[in-house]
Amino acid sequence: MASKVIHALYNDDDILMNAVKTVRAEHYHIEEIYTPFPVHGLDKAMGLEGTRIAITSFMYGVLGLTVAVLMMNFIMIEDWPQDIGGKPSFSYLENMPAFVPIMFEMTVFFAAHLMVITFYMRSKLWPFKKAENPDPRTTDDHFLMAIDAGHGDVDAMMKVLESTGAVELNIVEQEQAH
Amino acid sequence: MYTLPNKLKVFALVFMVLGAIGIVAGFLSAPKTTEEVAAMMADSHHGEEHAAQTHDMEGHATVHNTEEHKTEIHAGAEHHQEGVGHEASHSEQDAHQEHLEHVMHQMQNRPWSALYIASFFFFMIALGALAFYAIQYAAQAGWSPILFRVMEGVTGYLPVASIGVLVLLMASAFGLNHIFHWMDPELVNPESAHYDKIIAGKSGYLNIPFFLIRAIVFLLGWNAYRWLSRKYSVADDNANDQSFFKKNFKLSAGFLVFFIVTESIMSWDWIMSFDPHWFSTLFGWYVFAGMMVCAITVIALVTIYLKSQGYLEEVNDSHIHDLAKFMFAFSIFWTYLWFSQFMLIWYADIPEEVTYFVTRIEQYKLPFFGMIAMNFVFPLLLLMNSDYKRVNWFVVMAGIVILAGHYLDVFNMVMPATVGESWTIGVPEIGALMFFFGLFVYVVFNTLTKAPLVAKNNPFIKESKHFHY
């Protein structure tokens, strides 16, 4: 099924921000916005939910900590008991200070890497993925707002968008790829 | 302009009066003779184990003394004889008497140490705030100028604190107390039975005149910066150009260089020298980290208090968020340095180094581990979440625990060397803490009344007012 989308192009981030507010006030549905650089406050203006990546980061950190504890316990205490610093206690707890750097590093390693991978997956970016960018100018100096035009009065929408200062307006028939 | 509310004035005065009573009571209750010590040990709670120890006198007292020698709890010079052979020749009675004298010296040191710790604790808050203030200027930070007058208020305590600390150092130097063990001239006299080779070897640096000269030079330097930068900051309000801001910028950059060197030396002199045999190369940084956490916490608390009273309308939760981020970050930084110091010493297990932690873990278990929970685990869990850093009562709660934890940190740095096993947190400690708290509150809020609460001509003030995250 094909859907109709309006591509409104802007050449300034402040104009874009105001346009987003107007469009939202008209209750049109913004599908996506493509910008050449991160625009501060755009997520809030678009009404996007706050990110939950911090929560995943915490969970990955806890996972990393656990892996480090189990790993060091197996390597240094169980599998081949080591005399650490001339203190042959062969107890994880009594040798714990020696493992703190590893526990810390593994926590950071897991949190960082898994968080990045989560972010890519969530953003639908994976190897050999074809770029979804509808207009290469958004990688240079233009901002593109894609508005769902499937339902509603397209002419009225075009008028509203024109009044927000768009430099170009295109109606695009889009294949439903996702 | 801010006017000092009467309620706050009374609040500060009540703390000072109650604190002063506690301090005096602490000095009066310190034992003067060994008989008093024996009596105190027999009926006091804490003394129970001591009493038990002193009853099986022989052997035990001897062992106890040599242990003391090893673990460097020097309260008096009495216990500096070389080793067991000498001790063994004592009769039972002598050994007992010696132990009592040792405890007596520890107990006599206690009110002085309590006073010193509280005095130093509030001093380091003012000094840390001054360093933080200088960093804001030198970095030309855009978020913080709206808080400059609050920071200047906190640093307003520096001159008062400097006098307090200097008086206490002088008291030690002129022999009013023996909390600085190395100041005993017997230790560097080769003829004496108490001659200490290690301390004598350090006496080129660690001697009373040079010690006092360093203290005076450092205090003068820090106070000079505080005085000048405050003068320029107030003058800037009525200036037509940015000349005062530029002056302050240059002055701050210079001060930071002076500060980071002198702060390190100060921490060796005023704290590390309590254990004159022991040394740690990152001690200066460690003290610095604690100082910065406390200072930023106090800045946040004063800001939140003023805001709750209807002042500083332009301070928003993003400013509080930033301060809380600094509290969180410096708590982690403090822990990092604490652990770096601990792990290397624990790992190497060299007797001359490890005594420091052996003493603390054996005799100060609760404050030692309690402080790590308060200074690390608590802020870590409470301030990790971004949203919590914007909730005032969360910041206040974390702040109070952090401040209490860092008081304990200073306590742990000083007490084991001066009073050894005879420690408690009782009237002298709480009295001294209350006294200096009252003084601190009075001086800080009084300084705040001296200039408008917002530095209006600072070039970054507009950015600071509109700061949002």
Q: How far apart are CA B30 and CA B32, in angstroms?
A: 7
Residues of chain A with Cβ-Cβ distance to B386 below 8 Å are 54
Supply B154's token pair.
Answer: 């906190």
CA distance A56 to A118: 8
Give dist(CA A147, CA A7) in Å, integer. 7
Comparing C-alpha atoms, which of B206, B123, B207, B175 is closest to residue B440? B123
What is the average pLDDT score of chain A? Answer: 90
Which one of B336, B338, B343, B468 makes the best mutation probe of the A interface by having the most chain A beta carbons within 10 Å? Answer: B343
Cα dihedral across residues B125, B127, B130, B131: positive or negative: negative
- Round the average pLDDT of chain B to a whole number and report it: 88
Instruction: State residue B30's pLDDT score.
Output: 87
Contacts of A87 in chain B (CB under 8 A): 349
What are A175's strand-pairing partners? A2
Is the separation of the CB atoms in B72 and B64 below 8 Å?
no
3-state class of A36 per DSSP? coil
Could you please report the per-residue DSSP string of B336-362? HHHHHHHHHHHHH--HHHHHHHHHHHH
Upper half-sphere CA count for residue B389 (Cβ side, 13 Å) = 20
Partners of residue B348 in chain A, C-beta under 8 Å: 85
Among 3.40.50.1100, 3.30.70.120, 3.40.1130.10, 3.40.47.40, what is the CATH number of A2-36+141-175? 3.30.70.120
pLDDT of residue B62: 39
Tens of pLDDT, residue by residue over B325-366, are 999 999 999 999 999 999 999 999 999 999 999 999 999 999
How many Å apart are CA B196 and CA B204, to the nearest integer?
14
Q: What pTM does this model have?
A: 0.85
Rounded CA gap, B94 and B99, in Å?
A: 8
Answer yes or no: do B339 and A98 touch at CB < 8 A. Answer: no
- Biggest alpha carbon distance in chain B? 82
Distance from CA of B343 to the nearest CA of A (A): 6
Residue in the structure block whose two tokens are 């600072």? B458
Location of structure tokens 């410096």: B330
- Tell me, what's the ipTM? 0.79
- Residues of chain B with Cβ-Cβ distance to A97 below 8 Å are 339, 342-343, 346-347
Provide, rounded to the nearest whole percent, the portion of chain A with pLDDT above 90. Answer: 55
Low-confidence ranges of chain B (pLDDT < 50): 46-85, 87
* Cβ-nearest to B339 among A54, A87, A100: A100
Give the pair of three-digit tokens for residue B25. Answer: 């009571």
**Cross-strand bridge partners of residue A33:** A145
Position B51 scores a pLDDT of 44
Is the minimum CB–CB distance between B347 and chain A shorter than 8 Å? yes
d(CA B110, CA B204): 29
**B343·A86 Cβ contact <8 A:** no
User: What pLDDT is attached to residue A176?
Assistant: 58
CA distance B95 to B88: 9
What is the predicted pLDDT for the residue at A156?
87
Query: In chain A, which residues have pLDDT < 50?
Result: 1, 178
The amino acid at B205: Y
Q: Do A97 and B349 touch (CB under 8 A)?
A: no
Q: For position B82, what pLDDT does the model report? A: 43
The per-residue b/e assignment along B69-91, b for 16 or more CB within 10 angstroms, e otherwise, is bebbbbbbbebbbeeeeebeebe
CB nearest to B349's CB, from A58, A87, A100:
A87
Which tokens hold the place of B330? 């410096």
**Nearest C-alpha in B relative to A95:** B347
Secondary structure element (H or E) that encloses residue A169, with its range:
strand A168-175
